[in-house]
Amino acid sequence: MNNTQPGTMRRMDVFRFARAAATAYPLRTLLSILAMAIGVASVVLLTALGDGARRYVVAQFSSLGSHLVIVLPGRSATGGFNPANGMTTTPRDLTVDDAAALLRAPAIQRVAPLIVGTSEISANGRVREVVAVGSTASFMPIRNYELAQGKFLPDEDWRGSSPVAVIGTTIQKDIFANQAAVGKLIRLGDRRLRVIGVLKSTGQGMGMNTDELVIVPVGLAQALFDSNNLFRIMIQARGRDQIEAAKTQVTAIIKVRHGGEEDVTVITQDAVLATFDKLLGALTAAVAGIAAISLLVAGVLVMNVMLVAVTQRRAEIGLMKALGARGNTLRQIFLTEAAMLSLAGAVAGYLLGQLGAWGLRWAFPVFPAYAPAWAVVAALATALATGLVFGLLPAQRAARLDPVDALMRH
């Protein structure tokens, strides 16, 4: 490394000389380091935010269950214009029989019909409003719910309506305080039900907050709300590769049952996930791109700082030429100085950005604000590259300076 071709300045000397020159003008040096640092830090921090949002959403969606296919009544507006839609009055309701029919589909493992309504729960001398969900035993495995105590709904005929309920933790606290809830009787609307299980707390997430739910058999909910209309049908496909097949089969089965009309919307979790993943990934990239503009600005600043340095050190450059410095040596000295400024700024910015991301994670523990590796590498590389590219012009100017002019007029 140190043994360059004879007659040219050694690399180590170039490095030391450039470092001494940079530290001799601390304000100017700090300014360009700061500009570069802000650029890199903003890339690191903003991509940490963007990618954190993406991870958060993906994690939330994944927690909904695996291989999930969801059927909604009515044709989604985004499903494109279907001339048949124009003819029909209102879409047919989804019924428990529709849901049961789906069990025939080979790609489908589990089906859970869902009826949702509000009701009043009273027990233990307390009363409160609740969201009641009517479903079946399959609902728990499909949604990956876990129980804190007791059992989930019994695996009975869907028409059956055992007088039982599974409640969320908030309901348990509100109604039963610290007492055990399992085995207790409650009143839901005009029904008397026995609590058979308490769900584990899941907290606020995507979809329904199970902490505030009362889950009852679907037949009971139908009677309670006096309605056959399903809010959703939740389906678990037999595997990841069966999701598309399940979607096709669901659509076909419902179409036959609804007189040849496609009046439902079938959403697959994967599709939603992929859409969000792509959307937020693109957002992160866009944000990184915008932040990269600040790197460009920093590069221009480094160039200006170096141009000022060349002007300020004209006499010195002329002297070095008089002492036998080659143009290339001067180019190297000034390029090295520019590279040092950019590198120092990049490293400072990286640390600053990571510190910021850490602060975000500390303040919002559920938010995984980690800058993606590609963004960090790109930011550091861009910082160094801009520093070097924008350092070229000043270095070239130094190398080309007329020594007589530089020495005499200063």
Partner 1 sequence: MALISLAGIERVFHLGESSVHALARIDLQIEAGEYVAVVGPSGSGKSTLLNLLGLLDQPTSGTYHLEGRDVTTLSPDEQAAVRSRRIGFVFQSFHLVPRLTAAENIALPMMLAGMPASVRERRVQQALRNFGLDSRGHHRPDELSGGQRQRVAIARATIMQPAALLADEPTGNLDRATGDEVIHLLEGLNASGVTLIIVTHDAKLAARARRQITMEDGRVKADSVQAGADNPPQMPVQGGATDE
Binding site for partner 1 (CB under 8 A): 4-10, 13, 17, 20-21, 24, 315-316, 318-329, 403-404, 407-408
Nearer to partner 1, 14 or 352 (CB): 14
Backbone angles phi, psi at 307, to 5 degrees: -65, -40
Angle between helices 269-312 and 26-62 (to 10 degrees): 180
Residue 317 CB, nearest approach to partner 1 (Å): 10
By CB neighbour count within 10 A (0-12 exposed, 13-18 middle, 19+ buried), where does 117 fall?
A: middle
- In the complex with partner 1, the residue whose CB is nearer, 216 or 399, is 399
- Report the residue number, 21 or 68, with the smaller CB distance to partner 1: 21
Tokens at 345, concatenated: 């700024």
Nearest-angstrom CA–CA distance, 212 and 215? 10
**Within 13 Å, how many C-alpha atoms sit on residue 135's CB side?**
28
Minimum Å gap between C-beta 49 and partner 1 is 42
Neighbours of 233 (CB within 10 A): 25
Q: Give min distance, CB of 389 to partner 1, in A.
A: 25
Nearer to partner 1, 113 or 318 (CB): 318
Rounded Cα distance between 202 and 143, Å, is: 12
Q: How far is the CB of 306 from partner 1 (least distance, A)?
A: 17
Of the pair 248, 328, the CB lying nearest partner 1 is at 328
- Smallest gap from Cβ 339 to partner 1, in A, equals 19
3 state SS of 123: strand
Minimum CB distance to partner 1, residue 331 (Å): 12
Rounded Cα–Cα distance for residues 285 and 278 (Å): 10
For residue 36, the minimal CB distance to partner 1 (Å) is 23
Task: Report the residue number, 59 or 408, with the smaller CB distance to partner 1.
Answer: 408
Nearer to partner 1, 5 or 78 (CB): 5
d(CA 102, CA 233): 10
Least distance CB 318 / partner 1 (angstroms): 8
Place of tokens 């005499």: 408
Strands 126-135 and 213-217: parallel
User: Would you give the DSSP letter of residue 201?
Assistant: P
CB of 365: closest distance to partner 1 in angstroms? 50
Burial class (CB in 10 A: 0-12, 13-18, 19+), 357: buried
Nearer to partner 1, 279 or 408 (CB): 408
Q: Closer CB to partner 1, residue 9 or residue 230? A: 9
Contact 221, 117 (CB under 8 A): yes
Please name the residue that has the structure tokens 């400024």. 341
Name the nearest CA neighbour of 148 among 83, 220, 210: 210
